[in-house]
Amino acid sequence: MTLVLSEVSRTFSSEKAETIEALSPISLSVNNEEFICILGPSGCGKTTLLRIIAGLEYASSGSISVDGAPITRPSPKMAMIFQEYSLFPWRTVEENVALGLELRGLKKPDRVAAAEKYLDLVGLKGFEERYPHELSGGMRQRVAVARALAIEPSILLMDEPFGALDAQTRNRMQHELLHIWEKTKKTILFVTHSVDEAVFLADRIVVLTHRPGRIKEIVTIPATRPRERTSEDFGQIRRHLLDMIREESDPAQ
């Protein structure tokens, strides 16, 4: 399946009736099972882009299609993972993971079985009856991933999912995400402002300019995994990306 964005842009009026352009027209084609990172300076519109794809916001122009069929509302082919505060604190871990299936009317025994399966996949077997506030940040995000996987989407949309975690947990979670990705063969769109993270994870990195973001460059990372964070080749790519980011972050522009 392919995800195609065609001239997707976003403009809105502020309270003072000014027109603000958040996102310049973006065109992009994502292939099946690809891991795409969207990288850019703060405020460039990368999160907006993701939310438009997720159906949480409207595109002011352009269209999005999956396998040729256009989408405007939240599509069942996609699932979103937010940065934080996304688990329902009144539900157990298992109930959280089963949420999407519950919304679709699946019977309880089936839901429970699915939840247990995906919790096992993310390495949280045995935590079914815990509550979110009993878990660490990393564990919570794993639950969020399990919840997204439970509805068996084709595409995972991830909005800086590890941004609230400490450095070691973050690294560990990146490993685990790749592990899960290899097992489940999903297409992933991953928004981040961390160059290191993008280089470690992605097949391709879409670099956006400052607001209103348009595609500055698409960098393809050679496909070898597992990747050495400190290797020379990646250092070059990293330098290149950092230069671009610095360029876009410079207020003088």
Q: Which stretch binds another protein (CB under 8 A): 17-25, 34-42, 129-137, 226-234?
A: 129-137
- For another protein, which is the closer residue by CB, 131 or 247? 131
Q: Which of 183, 185, 198 is nearest to 240 (CA)?
A: 198
Q: Which of 80, 146, 202, 205 is close enough to bind another protein by CB under 8 A?
A: 80
Cα 11 to Cα 42: distance, rounded to the nearest angstrom = 17
Give residues 100-119 in contact with another protein (rule: CB under 8 A).
100, 102-104
Q: Are 70 and 22 in contact (CB under 8 A)?
A: no
Helices (H) and strands (E) counted in the chain, each on its own, are 8, 10
Residue 21 binds another protein, judged by CB under 8 A: no
Amino acid at 160: E
Q: Which of 102, 93, 211, 190 is nearest to 142 (CA)?
A: 93
Q: Which of 3, 79, 97, 145 is close enough to bind another protein by CB under 8 A?
A: 79
- For another protein, which is the closer residue by CB, 110 or 228? 110
Task: Compute how many residues bind another protein; rule: CB under 8 A.
Answer: 28
| 3-state secondary structure at position 233 | helix
Q: Which stretch binds another protein (CB under 8 A): 48-56, 58-66, 173-181, 239-247?
A: 48-56
Residue 84 binds another protein, judged by CB under 8 A: yes
Residue 99 binds another protein, judged by CB under 8 A: yes
Please give the radius of gyration of the chain, using alpha carbons only, rounded to the nearest integer.
Answer: 18
Residue 131 binds another protein, judged by CB under 8 A: yes
Query: At closest approach, how far in Å is the CB of 53 from another protein?
Result: 10
State phi, psi for 205 to the nearest 5 degrees: -115, 125
Query: At closest approach, how far in Å is the CB of 159 from another protein?
Result: 10
Alpha carbon of residue 115 to chain centroid: 21
Structure tokens at 82: 């937010």
Pairing of strands 155-159, 187-192: parallel
- For another protein, which is the closer residue by CB, 153 or 212? 153
Residue 89 binds another protein, judged by CB under 8 A: yes
Residue 74 binds another protein, judged by CB under 8 A: yes
Cα 181 to Cα 50: distance, rounded to the nearest angstrom = 19
Query: At closest approach, how far in Å is the CB of 133 from another protein?
Result: 4
Q: Which stretch binds another protein (CB under 8 A): 7-15, 111-119, 126-134, 223-231?
A: 126-134
Q: Which of 6, 10, 4, 3 is nearest to 58 (CA)?
A: 10
Residue written as token pair 């699946």: 106
Residues within the interface to another protein (CB under 8 A): 54-56, 74, 76, 78-80, 82, 84-86, 88-91, 99-100, 102-104, 131-133, 137, 140, 147, 151
